[in-house]
Amino acid sequence: MGFPKNFLWGAASAAYQIEGAYNEDGKVPGIWDALSEGHVKHGENGNIACDHYHRYKEDVALLKKLGVKVYRFSVSWPRVMSGPDTVNPKGLAFYSDLVDELKAAGIEPMVTIFHWNLPMWAHEKGGWYNAEISDDFANYARVVADALSDRVRFWFTVNEPTTFIGNGYFTGAHAPFESLMQEQPAVMMNKLAALTKNVLLAHGKAVRVLRSRAKLAPKIGMALNGSVYLPENESPDAIEKARTQMFPEQAFFSHFNWWADPAVLGCVPAGLQPFFTAEELKVICQPLDFFGFNCYNASNYEEYMGPNPAVVPGMPRTAMDWPITPDALYWAARFLTERYHLPIIVTENGMANIDFVMSDGAVHDPQRIDFVKRYLAGLQRAVDENIPVKGYLYWSIMDNFEWAEGYDKRFGLVYVDYQTQQRIPKDSFYWYADVIKNNRIS
Ligand code: GBH
């Protein structure tokens, strides 16, 4: 029992959600800075967030106290590149300092190159619709690699294209708040295919850049998400049914295979086939070192397509209203390794809870402890069945700006008081520290 030796226990965050300093040291606006007004609860934004830009030393000290082996953060594209070919040295210096601080604390940095805050200069020339974006992205990746790859080994190209394309251009819930839902099916498909292709080309070109320029031998993956289906029981038929639901032939952008088939297997799901040339697929399909995926819940209970009979009245849900489905990590790890034959890293898992500072001055969050305990039990089962699970990163190290939900939804192991910027480790922080120390669920 327990997890493998050298298991990569960690926590994750993303630039726009924690850094603040939205207009300091030469940072230019991104789509979340410039366009989110009127789209976020209570009119909130990430201008200050957790002020991590100024408090990163205190935050790294907390990570050290937690005992994590790895910390996944993202670099902000508009902080580092003020135009397609213009580097902002002060912005880059922030990440170099952060990496130094992490290394000094004995923590291995993991860099996500893109976690959603697209620079406005890229958006203004068409954003992910413009074919130029993959070269701009590769250029940005080169700048980051040149600055950090003497100390950074782990790289993730893009975080959750399902979400930033789906929410950003399809439903309109996230920046740049555009919607394709009213379009004619053929127009919609053309546009989705263009967005998808540009994201995948950006990924492939960034992998090439990292492989050719990184000073430390890089370990590269994506941080994907997609629908995960739990089988109704463990009969071969039910398992097969869940697998086909998860990787349908008629895939859509919400399915893992929409992204991962081209990137990992070099083949394209049915609906996308007319849009990709063999040449493009060669660029997109690059050797990867692991399959990173974010997973919060199984999709069996989703209702966005209409009422779903699987939904049980009163079923356990988090503060986001997401169902609590602990077996999701097991089935995701199993189905994803069976299809893609790569080692697995859970790049995000966690929950929003109704956390507040209680009358004793502490933040008690037994729901979160129980949530992680049960999800990790699923991951433990995967480990016991020799599924190559290399790491688990809790989302998030601290409470932060939860996109369109603003600051109400708290996912952190550390509570953040946004009035004072005081950090308070929650009970789950101490519990997770024990898990890491013992390399097993306590
Ligand atoms: C991630 O996105 C992001 O990477 C991160 O920035 C964010 O803060 C974090 O997770 C928490 O939101 O229909 O009820 O079954 C999460 C993307 C996609 C996860 C939709 C939940 C379905 C919920 N989400 N998904 S439900």
The residue extents of the domains of the chain are: 8-438
For residue 432, which of 350, 352, 358, 328 has the smallest C-alpha distance? 350
Which of 425, 397, 424 lies closest to 98, judged by CA? Answer: 397
* Cα three-residue angle 168-136-148, rounded to 5 degrees: 100
Contact 379, 347 (CB under 8 A): no
User: Which mutation among 36, 347, 395, 398 tests ligand 1's pocket best, with the greatest number of atoms within 8 A of CB?
Assistant: 395
Is residue 297 within 6 Å of ligand 1 at its C-beta?
Answer: yes
Q: Whose CA is nearest to atom 17 of ligand 1?
A: 163
Nearest to 13 by CA among 347, 346, 326, 297: 347
User: DSSP code of 107?
Assistant: -
Q: Which protein residue's CA is at the shortest distance from atom 3 of ligand 1?
A: 160
One-letter amino acid of 181: M
* 145 Cα to the center of ligand 1, angstroms: 28
CA distance 376 to 431: 13
CA distances 236 to 28, 231, 232, 247, Å, are 53, 9, 11, 16
* Ligand 1 neighbour 348 (Cβ under 6 A): yes
- 402 Cβ closer than 6 Å to some ligand 1 atom: yes
Ligand 1 touching residue 227 (CB < 6 A)? no
Which residue of 17, 40, 294 sits with most ligand 1 atoms within 8 Å of its CB, as the best mutation to test the pocket? 294
* 427-438 helix and 366-384 helix, angle to the nearest 10 degrees: 20
What's the rounded Cα separation, in Å, for the pair 214 and 227?
33
* C-alpha 214: how far from chain center: 22
- In single-letter form, the type of residue at position 236 comes to P
Query: What sign for the dihedral angle of Cα 8, 11, 15, 19?
Result: negative
User: Could you tell me if the CB of 225 is within 6 A of ligand 1?
Assistant: yes
Q: Is the CB of 163 under 6 A from ligand 1?
A: yes
| Atom number of ligand 1 nearest to Cα 303 | 13
254 lines ligand 1 (CB under 6 A): no
Domain boundaries 8-438, corresponding CATH code: 3.20.20.80
Residue 1 pLDDT: 75
Interacting residues of 430 by C-beta distance below 8 A, sequence separation 6+: none
Neighbours of 284 (CB within 10 A): 24
| CB 327 within 8 Å of CB 319 | no
Q: Across the chain, how many H-helices and E-strands are there?
A: 15, 12
Q: Which long-range contacts (CB under 8 A, 24 or more apart) does 415-424 make?
A: 415/355, 415/357, 415/363, 416/50, 417/357, 418/48, 418/50, 421/50, 421/51, 421/55, 423/58, 423/59, 423/62, 423/398, 424/357, 424/362, 424/363
Instruction: Give the Cα separation of 37 and 211 in Å (integer).
Output: 39
Between CA 318 and CA 326 the distance in angstroms is 12
Cβ of 13 less than 6 Å from ligand 1:
no
For residue 176, whether the previous peptide bond is cis, meaning omega lies within 30 degrees of 0, is: yes
CA of 343 to the centre of ligand 1 (A): 22
* CB-CB neighbours of 57 under 10 Å: 12
Would you say the CB of residue 405 lies under 6 angstroms from ligand 1? no
- Tell how far the Cα of 334 is from the centroid of ligand 1, in angstroms: 21
CA of 296 to the centre of ligand 1 (A): 7
For residue 359, report the distance from its CA to the centre of ligand 1, in Å: 31
Q: Among the options 19, 101, 348, 402, which is catalytic?
A: 348
Catalytic annotation present for 348:
yes
From 160, 183, 385, 405, the catalytic residue: 160
CA of 332 to the centre of ligand 1 (A): 15
Looking at residue 304, its pLDDT comes to: 83
pLDDT at 305: 81
Q: Name the residue at shortest CA distance from atom 7 of ligand 1.
A: 402
CA of 217 to the centre of ligand 1 (A): 31
pLDDT per residue of the chain (442 residues) written in tens, 0 to 9: 799 999 999 999 999 999 999 999 999 999 999 999 999 999 999 999 999 999 999 999 999 999 999 999 999 999 999 999 999 999 999 999 999 999 999 999 999 999 999 999 999 999 999 999 999 999 999 999 999 999 999 999 999 999 999 999 999 999 999 999 999 999 999 999 999 999 999 999 999 999 999 999 999 999 999 999 999 999 999 999 999 999 999 999 999 999 999 999 999 999 999 999 999 999 999 999 999 999 999 999 998 889 999 999 999 999 999 999 999 999 999 999 999 999 999 999 999 999 999 999 999 999 999 999 999 999 999 999 999 999 999 999 999 999 999 999 999 999 999 999 999 999 999 999 999 999 999 8
Dist CA 348 CA 332 (whole Å): 13
Q: Is the CB of 399 under 6 A from ligand 1?
A: no
Say yes or no: CB of residue 322 within 6 Å of ligand 1.
Answer: yes
399 CB-contact burial (10 Å; exposed 0-12 / middle 13-18 / buried 19+): buried
Phi, psi (deg, nearest 5) at residue 249: -60, -45
